[in-house]
Structure 1
Amino acid sequence: MPWEYDVQEGEELGFLSDEKVGEEGNHQALLNAKLMDRDTIILADTGAHMSVVHLRAVESLNLPIDRRKSMRINGIGPNSIRTLGTVPVKLTIGNGIAYYLELDVCDLGNVGFNAVLGMDFLSRAHMTIDANCREISLPGGEQVPLLHQPTRYHQGNIQYLEATKQTWIASGESAVVPIQHSLPLEHDEPEYWVHRGVKWIATLLSGVDEQPVAVRITNIGSHGISLLPRTRIGAIAERGERPLDARMVRKNSNRYRVWEDEVYEGTFTSRSLKKQVAQNTELEDSTPLKEPKE
């Protein structure tokens, strides 16, 4: 018996086959299909409760997106992402079983498939995934083999940057969080991403070598805010990877420059801040002290 565990009455010991490096059985349930009569690869995911189609496939097929319905979904990567709308599609699986359905559209990032079939589809289509034989059983008895290729959502190195402690930021002011690198940087130069909230925007502060050394969080609202610990404020990623958060933008992108303009408009000049501090100090000094009641 491994470790110090006991087999209880009514139980029997289960055994796993020897795991091999690059074991094909560990690969996800990818299969060939047709999307709008074009060859594609899709992922059958029993861990997903809803089915989605990749934005890049929708754009490639020039399909119209109905943007009236949008929602946040979890389970794809470490943080939630927002769907961009819905689109009607024709999906063909196996030797000609065609499904006409409406799928939610979202940007899945750098992945090797163009759609995810969740339990909402698999259960209603009466499909069965056989992990041992690596095949999917379709209605009528047809067996569709799964592809022997690994896939990932965004396993390439991504380091998320977070607030380390609860921080109060007054209107128009900023807080700085130093960047502590944990990615192996011997590969390509990493890309830096920043996040934002409704009332705050994260921008990057660079060192002497033009490499970002800290993240500055600026309160662009009219009231003070409290930034909670572990609030995501940015990310560092290998080239070709992207954090799956619709609100993150890459440094040097056009949207990043727009955010910098918003930060500029939402802050005060140094002279204005000094004047405000002086006024507050003068007000405190001029406030008479209340005499204690006898």
Structure 2
Amino acid sequence: MTSPATPQDRRQESEAGHPGCYESPIPIRPATLGDAIASEWTKLRSVRATVWTLGVMVTLMLTLGVGTALLLAANDAGLANEPALALGFFGVLLGSLCVITLGVLTIGSEYSTGMIRTTLTACPSRARVLAAKAIVFFSLTFVITTVTAAVVAVLQTLILNGTVAASGGRWALATVGVGLYMAGLGLLSLGVGAIVRHSAGAITIMIGVVLLPLVLALFMFADALRSVQRFLIEYSIPNQLSALYGTTMTNSGPSSWEPLVVMLGLVAVALGGALALLNRRDV
């Protein structure tokens, strides 16, 4: 009974039968989603844009959230009927611009540098590339946003200790809910970046998505446009974010965990469109 051939034996046989041919002794296996995730994680953590955008987001959330609480405490204003958690909205709203920027750059920067050709050569499956980018970006953004929101909520509650105690559900919405919504907003930006393939253009579009509904609603004075005005305000991203803190601009519209369902639908449409275009385009 003969022993199985080793990689070195196979290489020697290949060279003897076919001079000039070489067979690598390294075992070859097909790439998996885990390999794509590892690659995308290496790219995301090694670029300066990740540190700058997420660093600015954390700074804004901490500075505005804690600073607002300190101002209210210094003036003995307090929040008579609202938990201190609602003050976290201001930092999150501005921080969302950082998440949008990073979401677009996660894929848009590869188009601007031409790195996308190398990525798709190494991993020809467009669905796997997009899924890996989405998983890595969502995980990183969710963890950092949730932890920062929780720290801000604790500090605000300690500073304004005379306010109403928030329930467990309100705490979950103001921390985990906000983290999920911000990460979803980033995925929406990633999808738009993959569709547009231009970082500046995609960021401009996403800023318009955040701000334009409220701007348009401000100029709808006619009675015939009241229903449209109400819809734009209720489903605008700032109002949905504020709904997670229990304070909205209107008495109707998404509340509690409903903004996350709305965002999930938008993300599904954007990523679905991005995947369809990725499969049709050469690059």
Superposition TM-score, scaled by structure 1 size: 0.21
When Rg is computed on C-alpha atoms for both structures, the one with the higher figure is 1
Higher strand fraction (1 or 2): 1
Q: More helix by proportion, 1 or 2?
A: 2
Name which structure has the greater RCO, CA cutoff 8 Å, separation 6+.
2
